[in-house]
Amino acid sequence: MQGVVPRLVLVPVVFRLALFLQALWADGGRTASVLWLAVAFFLVPNLLEVAWVFRRATGIRPVLLADTAYTLVTSLAAAAFAPGLLALTWPNIIGTVMVWTLLRGAPAGAAAIAGAVLLRYGTAAVSGTSAPATWILLALLAAVVTALAIVLLVAGSMRFAHRLGEQRGRAAERERHRRDVHDTVLQVMESLALPAPGDALDPVGSLDQVRRTARAHALRLRLSLDGDAPAEPGGLEHRLGALAVEMTADGLRIDLVVLAKPADVPEAVVNALHDATREALRNTLKHAKTARAVVCLEEREGVVTVSVRDHGTGFDPGARRAGFGIDNSIHARLAEIGGAARIDSAPGQGTRVVLTAPLELRFPVG
C-alpha cells in the first residue's frame, strides 16, 4: 500500500500529457523553435516524473514537492519569457490540483484550487495577457471530484485486496496446521503401530523404544505449542543424516549419498526439503514393503535436489489418487519455497521421489 499511494500521481500526469498533446494539435501554427521549447519544458518533465515514480521507492512528500515546484517554475517562466506558451501551463496546474487531492484528500484539494486560481491570475498579470475566464474554477472543481473518485476506487480496491489476502492467509494457516498435525502426531502414531524387527526377539526392548519415542515426540509437541520449540541444528546435510538415523530406528535403513554439498541453504529451504523427505520415507516405510532406501543430495546451478529411491512394490501414480501427505506434505510444501516435486513409480519397480528447490528465495516464506 505504501508503494501504491505515491504512484497515484501517474493519473494526473497522464491527464496532463493528454491535454498537452491536444493543445499542440489544436494550435498547429507554432514555429519549430517554440514547439521544441514546449516539448522540453512540458512533455519531457512529465515523462521524467513517470520514470522517477516507477523507479524510486519514494514517499508522498517528495512527490508533492517535486510536482508543485515543477508547476510553479514552468508557469512563472512561461509568463515572464514566453507568453505564447502560457496556455500550456493549464494542464500542469490542473494536474497539480489532482495530485494534492489524491495524496492529501479533499481539504488539500480545496487549498490547491485557491492556489491554482491565484497562480493563474498572477501569471496573466505578469505576462500582460488577459485574465482567464471564470470557468477555470469549474474545471478545477471537476479535477478535484475526479481525483476523489479515484481515491475512493483505490481505497475500495485496497480494502477488497486486504480482505481477500486475509481470507487466503487464514486458509493457508489452516492447511499448515493440518500438515503439521499429519507430519508429527499422525506419523508418530502410525510408526508406533507398525511392527518392528525386534518385537519378537526383544519385546521388552521394543516396548521401551516405543515409550522413549512417544516421550520425545510429546516433549517436542509440547514445546511447539508453548512457542519455545528450539531450532533444528545444522544444515541440510546434517538434518538429512539425523533423519536417516530416525528412520533406521523405525526399521527403514537409509543410505545417504551426498554428490555435491550445497552451501548457504536458506533455513526455509532446509526445513521444506527435510520435512518433504521425511514424508517420502514414511510412505516408503508404510507402503513399499522394503527395509532400505537411498537418499541422494546434490546442488547444481543454484538448485538443490534431494531424491528418495526405494526398490519396493511401487505403484501406478495414474491409477492411485494422491493422499494428503503427497499433496500437502510434499507438493504444497515445495511450492511454498518456489520448488517442485516429481514422483516416478511403477508396480514392481519401486518409487523415486525427486525434490528440487532454489537456493535463493524470491519471496518471504512463513
Q: Where are the domains of the chain?
A: 4-162, 236-358
Distance CA 326, CA 276 (A): 9
Cβ 305 vs Cβ 339: under 8 Å: no
Phi, psi of 308 (to 5 degrees): -120, 120
Q: Where are the alpha helices (DSSP H) in the chain?
A: 10-26, 32-38, 44-55, 60-81, 89-104, 106-127, 135-181, 187-193, 203-226, 236-249, 267-287, 324, 333-336
Can you give the pLDDT at residue 277?
93
Distance CA 109, CA 180 (A): 53
Other C-beta atoms closer than 10 Å to the C-beta of 126 total 15
DSSP strand pairing (340-345 vs 351-358):
antiparallel
> Which of 253, 295, 257 lies closest to 273, judged by CA?
295
The CATH fold of domain 236-358 = Heat Shock Protein 90 (3.30.565)
pLDDT one-digit tens code per residue, 16-40: 777 777 766 766 555 566 667 777 7
By percentage, how much of the chain surpasses pLDDT 90?
13
Integer-rounded Cα Rg, in Å, for the chain is: 34
Q: Which three cell numbers stand for residue 335?
A: 511450492
Confidence of residue 221 (pLDDT cuts 50, 70, 90): low
Is residue 76 over pLDDT 70?
Answer: yes
pLDDT one-digit tens code per residue, 118-175: 888 888 888 877 766 666 667 777 777 777 777 676 667 667 777 877 887 787 777 7
Confidence of residue 286 (pLDDT cuts 50, 70, 90): confident
DSSP strand pairing (303-310 vs 292-300):
antiparallel
The region of weakest confidence among 50-64, 182-196, 217-231, 244-258 is 217-231
Other C-beta atoms closer than 10 Å to the C-beta of 80 total 11
pLDDT one-digit tens code per residue, 97-125: 888 887 788 888 888 888 888 888 888 88
pLDDT one-digit tens code per residue, 335-361: 888 899 999 998 889 999 999 999 887
Distance CA 255, CA 238 (A): 14
